[in-house]
Amino acid sequence: MKVKRKLIIALVALFAAALMGGLVYFMPDIKMASGISDYTVKAIDLTTHGDRIYFLNTGSADAILIESEGKFALVDGGEDSDNPRGFEELAFEGTETYVVDAIEKIAGDENGKAVLDFVSGTHSHSDHIGGLDTVILDDNITVKTVYIKKYDESKIKSYEIEKWDNKEVYEQLISACDKKGVSVIQDMSEEPFSFGNFTLKFCNTAETESTEPIGENENAVGLLIEKKGMRAFLAADINNYDGDEDRLSKELGKINLLKVGHHGYDGSTGSDFVRALSPEFAVVTNKKGGISRKPLQNLNSVNALVFETGNYKGIVAEFTKDKIVLYGNIDEALLGIESSKR
C-alpha cells in the first residue's frame, strides 16, 4: 500500500509540474500559415515593379530589399563566407553571392546595373552585415549611403568579443565604404523620411543605457515602413533585455506586418510587444521549422499568420492601394498569398 500510495503521489506531482512548467504535451497547438482557407493563391511577375519589401531567402539571416517608385534600398546583407578569425564554429556557407544576384535581378537595369539609395546595417553581427562588403564592392551595384551604428566593443559581452567576429565584419563593411567612396552615417536620426511612396523611420537608434556589457543585438536598429495607413516593422534582432520592445510597443502601436525579431528565437517577440503591435502577418527570416515555440505562441495569440522565408523560398510583401499582399518564391515567382479582409 505504501508503494502504491507513493506512486500515486508521484504521478500527481508530475501532473502538477507539467501544468505549471508548461510541458509540450499541455501547450496549445501551434499554427503556421499553410492551410489557411480564407487566403487565396496567385502568381507574381517579378519583371513588374511596385511598392514592395523583398525578404530574401538567406537562411537564418537577414537580407531585405525595399522598392518604391523606382528607388531601392537594402536592409542587411545576409551571412558571409569569410571566417576572418578562423573559428570552426564560424565557418558558414555565406549567401553574399545570392544577395548580389537578387539585387541585380530585381533592382538592375537591362545591363544588371543597380542603384541602392541606401544600405542599412542593423547591427554588427555577421548574419546581418557579413555580406554587405560584397554588395558594396560589386561593380554592378552603386550604393549612395550606408547607415550603421558605430561598433563599440568596450560595451559588448566578453563571449561575443572572444567567440564571434563582430569587429571584423564591421571593419570589413567600413573598409568597403572607404574603398568605394560611400558616405557612412552613424548618428542615425529617427525623423521619418520619404522613400518613393513609402515613409520610412529608423527606430532604436539611441545608444543603450545599460551600464553592464550587452549583446550586439541590443544595438539593433528597426525600420518602420508606411504607406497610406498600411504599416510594416522590420524588427532586426531587437529584444527586450534592456527594454527595447517595451519602448517600441508604446512608440509603434498597431501594424499590419512584422518582420519577427532575431529570426524567431527565444528572447525576442515577447507577449506584450506582440499584443501592442497585433500584426496580421509575421515574416520570419529563418529556415523551415526554425522559429522557437514561445515567440510562435505569442504570434498565435493575436492570430498573426506566420511565414518563414525558408518555407516559401523568399517572401515579397507588396503594398497595393488598400492592403498588403504576400507572395512566395522570389526566384521563381510561383506562389502568391493575398490578405483577407479582417
Tell me what pLDDT residue 333 has: 54
* 226 CB neighbour count, 10 Å cutoff: 18
User: Exposed e or buried b for every residue in 50-73, given b needs 16+ CB within 10 A?
Assistant: ebbbbbbbbbbbbbbbbbbeebbb
Name residues whose C-beta falls within 8 Å of residue 180's C-beta, 6 or more positions apart in sequence. Answer: 136, 137, 143
What pLDDT shows up at residue 19?
38
Pairing of strands 335-338, 324-328: antiparallel
Q: What is the 3-state secondary structure (H, E, C) of the chain?
A: CHHHHHHHHHHHHHHHHHHHHCCHHHCCCCCCCCCCCCCEECCCCCCCCCCEEEECCCCCCCCEEEEECCEEEEECCCCCCCCCCCCHHHCCCCCHHHHHHHHHHHHCCCCCCEEECEEECCCCCHHHHCCHHHHHHCCCEEECEEECCCCCHHHECHHHHHHCCHHHHHHHHHHHHHHHCCEEECCCCCCCEEECCEEEEEECCCCCCCCCCECHHHHCCEEEEEECCEEEEECCCCCCCCCHHHHHHHHHCCCCEEECHHHHCCCCCCHHHHHHHCCCEEEECCCCCCCCHHHHHHHHHCCCEEEEHHHHCCEEEEECCCCEEEEECCCCCCEEEECCCC
- Residue 93 pLDDT: 84
* pLDDT at site 338: 55
Q: How many whole angstroms separate alpha carbon 61 and alpha carbon 284? A: 10
Structural domain spans, the chain = 1-27, 31-338
Length in residues, the chain: 342
What are the two backbone dihedrals, phi and then psi, of residue 158, each rounded to the nearest 5 degrees?
-60, -35
Sign (positive/negative) of CA torsion 258, 264, 268, 271? positive
At residue 40, the pLDDT reads: 43
Return the CATH fold of 31-338: Metallo-beta-lactamase; Chain A (3.60.15)
pLDDT by 10s per residue, the chain, length 342: 444 444 444 444 444 443 333 322 222 334 455 433 344 434 456 778 999 999 999 999 999 999 999 999 999 999 999 888 888 888 888 899 999 999 999 999 999 899 999 999 999 999 999 999 999 999 999 999 999 999 999 999 999 999 999 999 999 999 999 999 999 999 999 999 999 999 999 999 998 888 899 999 999 999 999 999 999 999 999 999 999 999 999 999 999 999 999 999 999 999 999 999 999 999 999 987 899 999 999 999 999 999 999 888 889 999 999 999 888 888 665 445 555 433
Q: Are strands 257-259 and 230-234 parallel, antiparallel or unpaired?
A: parallel
